[in-house]
Amino acid sequence: MAIEEFFDQNRISVKNLSHDKVTPKSESPFNPKKELNEKDFESFLDIVKVYENRISDTGFWKYFIRLVNDVKTLFPGKFSEANVESETWEILKREARACRLQFRWHDLAELAAGIKSLSPSRYQELNIDKNDLEKIKREFEEYRSANNPDYSIHIAKNLKIISPDSFSDLNINEDDLAATKKELEGRKQEGRWKDFAYLAANAKVVFDDKFPNSLIEGKEWRLLRSEMKELRDMKYRGEIIYLAAATAVLSAESIEIAEDGIKISGRRNGDHFLQEDSLPETRKF
C-alpha cells in the first residue's frame, strides 16, 4: 500500500490487542513498514539522486546526506554506500575540510554523523580527531548556554553517532530536557508540525528512555499525517522524506545507535508497544 492510499484510510482492526477500543488509524503511531511501499522507495531514490547531482552547489550536501540517511531509516537494508557515486564521496571529504577551515563545527558534526551512518569505512577517511570533537562540544555548549535546543540537541544527536564517549562528556541533564520540552510545547501550540517533529526526533535519540512520549499521542499522530498529506499534495517529496523519517523515529519503541547509525525497532501504540510481527491488519471501513 502506497503512502497515498494510506491517507484515505482511517481505522484499524485491534483484534490482537487486550482492549476492545477501535483506534482511528490516523491517530495511531506511524508505521513505515505498512504505510510505505516500493513505489515510495523508488520515488524517494529519485529525490536523493536530484540532490546528489547538485551536491557541488552551496549547501546541497546537507540535503543529500540527510535525505540518504532518512531513506535508510524508512527502508532498512535497501540503501547502501554502493548507491553513492565515487565523486560524491570526494566532494563530501572536501566539504569536511571546508568545515574545519571555516570553523563550522556543527556542520562538521552533521556531515561526519551522516557519512558514518552511511559508510563507517568512508567515515574513517574524514580523520575526525580529538581536536574536532572538542570544538564540536564547545559549540554545543554555546548553543546550550544560549538556550537554543534546536541547535544544541541536533549537535548532541550527531555527536552521539560519531563518538558515544564525547556525547557522554556533554552531561545531558534535566535542564536540557526541560528546555527542549518547552520548545516542543511551543511548536505544538503554534502548529509548527514539521519543526516539532524534527526537534522531537533528535530529542528522542538524545534523551532515549527519558524522552516524554506523552508529547505525541493520538491528536499529534493525526496532525503529523495531515502535514505529510499536505506536503504530498504540493509534491514536496524531499520534505515528505524528512517528516516521515522523523515521525518513524517518534513511533519507534526503541532506538539503537549502531556502527552505521540509528536503528529503530518496535512501534508505539499509546502507552503500549506493538512488535512488528503482531501488528493489527489494516482495512477500510
Tens of each residue's pLDDT in the chain, 285 residues: 555 554 444 433 333 333 444 557 778 899 998 999 999 999 999 999 999 999 999 999 999 999 999 999 999 989 888 899 999 999 999 999 999 999 999 999 999 999 999 999 999 999 999 999 999 999 999 999 999 999 999 999 999 999 999 999 999 999 999 999 999 999 999 999 999 999 999 999 999 999 999 999 899 999 999 999 999 888 888 999 999 999 999 999 999 999 888 999 888 764 333 333 333 333 221
Looking at residue 283, its pLDDT comes to 27
Give the pLDDT confidence score for residue 234 in this predicted structure. 87
The verdict on residue 225 lying in a domain is yes
For residue 88, the enclosing domain spans: 3-278
Residue 180's pLDDT is 97
Asked whether residue 107 is assigned to any structural domain, the reply reads: yes
Q: Is 123 among the domain residues?
A: yes
Q: Is the residue at 285 inside a domain?
A: no
CA distance 9 to 54: 37
Query: Looking at the domain assignment, is residue 172 inside a domain?
Result: yes
Q: Is position 50 within any domain?
A: yes
Provide the domain count of the chain.
Answer: 1
In this predicted structure, what is the pLDDT of residue 202? 98
**What is residue 124's predicted lDDT score, i.e. its pLDDT?**
96
> Is 230 domain-assigned?
yes
- pLDDT, position 2: 53
Residue 283, in any domain of the structure: no
